[in-house]
A and B are shown apart, each in its own frame.
Chain A
């Protein structure tokens, strides 16, 4: 009865000459097995999953290799058979759950479809089953959950609902493509535990695609490492992460190992660069979210790196948007040292923002040159001087000038995020706000961006406000940590003191979420000792 999902020598390319996107990928997932597929962006992880479902983009084609589910060959199976397999025997979880729902349909109606097609349930029985599924994935009130529209759910709840949808057809295998990379650590852990429960409970085979090695260490039985379309290393999690053979695996591990680094503390008498006093903001009923800030007071000292932690919806991004002037505060004041100009109306903007989604912060229609020169158009510089300034900051962030003639779609996420930082530097800012600036990037790229930010902090004396949900980034970069919870500032402490003993209940939950569950802590496997965080791992397997 145990039927494996086997991929054998898979080759996918655009049909023409040139390097194939996937080059001889082989892997297998047995029932009840948790297999992780890791690698940087563009390494072919997602394409592997898409090949299994026969959902490759039109420009790509399967050139050779086989994909078998038990005895069924999927590569040659007719579309009607694939329709039964997709969602029926193989479920799929996507990275951005909200985008995968039809915004005009309630969650309950989404669930009825796979129940009808794959389980043959209709009417009252299907509705009952849908509620059962929602309860199973952790909806406290399944009825309310089924009645809500996708936009009414938080990111974490939406991914749970997507999990319910993926499990509705009672699949034997689940392909999970970065299901938690847009979620914070607490939610990530909840989702992965939920999947792991299905695995242990009824033998669901899981292929978990991610660039987050910590979660791999915590949950996966086996791991495969991909680099530019090839599997470069595979084996039991403990071995691959503990004694990596391939150079690429080692560099991934190095990049993931964000250790606290000695950042010289800013002098005590240093003045506040940025001061927020009792800042409040609430969105009126017709705005898309009701997330608000309730009386946040906070100072950023000159030359400081301050981390702002919080779950999705805690008001972190609202804070950033208020500081740069994209939104207006309802209450309170935001002042800059020496009344420096700020906000979109200021000619020279002393506070700059680096956005989360590098591809979104550049206009897809215009070249990087136009995008980068635009902020200088009001500076009175000649075209030649503008070009020189742009090239200078580009060199400062380590980018080649040839990129200037490209459009955003022709650049990688890491290149674009550097370009975003370069663009912010053009205006000689005093304060740089990074709103989840690295969470959409893979570990290697994240590391280079973080290193760049540290260098700029050192060389230019920039004050940084790092808004993130990633505890490791905070520990790696920041001198102080502020925690936002439901729009309020619940804790503000020195980084070391914060991780040693978080005071607020929510801070504790955040810190604890980086503790392993089933398997091991990444740092245990890789043998890195942690002086500042002596927590005991929770016993393996629940």
Chain B
């Protein structure tokens, strides 16, 4: 019993829950008990029960099916935005540190300006200008979201560039691609990964917030944010309409953060061990 308890660590539990969530959402068309947009006005705002495990919304749609279906949009959007912002931010940060001079100045000031503007307002502006849908939303999140990655990548790249092996590579005339891909990026990977998992949670919430404001997915498609918005007027009669999608956002964000922190920590330990000598 004690051995079992020892093996269930918080990050293993998080990994199990997240895997389950991803599988359920990915396989939603197969496992959903109802079609997500099938209305049944006879059972509007039903409480959880044997027919509808998580109850129904104001149009009598099955909440469980909608949570599973909505997760597809929320999670893929957050994941895509994480990847886009991480890649863009890393490219900008490494370019800053490599080129230095006016480009570094320009990119860093741009970063400062974006940081000074409320993320949500900028995103709202972009979505308002480009229209709604997957790609405009992704663009909005990417434009506002690259800054922390760029800041981290720039600082780390500056740091690694000052180390002996990068200076040696410069003196030896190694190609810049070798310096960037073999020297810089491997040393940047672990901290950036940690940052990415933190950002995934935040982006999942941002996606929800934009949808909540009606700027994300458009009906009849739904995601967790728009479900929250739709269920809000009926919060007192059917609280499960808010609790279910809210809890989904919370649990997924928490699991990713926990797993990412753990992975980053492990990577840092491995790196330290590789570098330790004597």
Question: Which residue numbers of A lie inside 8 Å of B, CB to CB?
Answer: 41-42, 46, 324-326, 344-349, 352-353, 355, 357, 359-366, 370-371, 374-375, 377-378, 407-409, 420, 423-424, 426-427
Contact = CB atoms under 8 A, between A and B. Distances in A.
Q: Is the interface of A mostly helix, strand, loop or mixed?
A: loop
Given A371-B165, A409-B274, A409-B276, A347 B173 contact: yes
Main secondary structure of the interface of B (DSSP, over half): helix
Contacts of A344: 170-171, 173
A360 B171 contact: no
Query: 6 tightest A-B contacts by CB?
Result: A360-B164, A375-B172, A364-B275, A344-B170, A361-B164, A374-B174
Nearest to A370: B182
B164 A357 contact: yes
B232 to A, nearest CB: 48
B105 interface: no
Most buried by B among A41, A46, A423: A423
B277 interface: yes
Contact of B274 (A361, A364, A427): A364
A324 B171 contact: yes
A11 B186 CA distance: 39
B17 to A, nearest CB: 33
A524 to B, nearest CB: 34
A409 B274 CA distance: 7
Given A374-B178, A407-B274, A409-B277, A362 B172 contact: no
B167 interface: yes
B187 interface: yes
A360 B165 contact: yes
B164 A355 contact: yes
Q: Of B165, B171, B172, B183, which is in contact with the most chain A CB atoms at under 10 Å from its CB? A: B171
A362 to B, nearest CB: 5
Given A349-B172, A352-B171, A355-B167, 19 more contacts: A46-B278, A325-B170, A325-B171, A326-B170, A344-B170, A348-B173, A353-B168, A353-B171, A355-B164, A359-B277, A361-B168, A365-B186, A366-B182, A371-B165, A374-B169, A374-B172, A378-B173, A378-B175, A407-B274
A361 B278 CA distance: 16
Nearest to A371: B165
22 contacts: A324-B171, A326-B170, A344-B171, A344-B173, A352-B172, A353-B168, A353-B171, A361-B164, A361-B168, A362-B168, A363-B165, A363-B183, A364-B274, A365-B186, A375-B173, A377-B175, A378-B175, A407-B274, A409-B276, A420-B168, A427-B172, A427-B173
B169 to A, nearest CB: 6
A360 B174 CA distance: 17
Contacts of B277: 359, 364, 408-409
Contacts of B168: 353, 355, 361-362, 420, 423
A159 to B, nearest CB: 20
Interface in B208-256: none
A362 B178 CA distance: 14
Interface string B141-174: 0000000000000000000000111011111111
A325 B178 CA distance: 19
Contacts of A355: 164, 167-168
Nearest to B179: A374
A377 B278 CA distance: 31
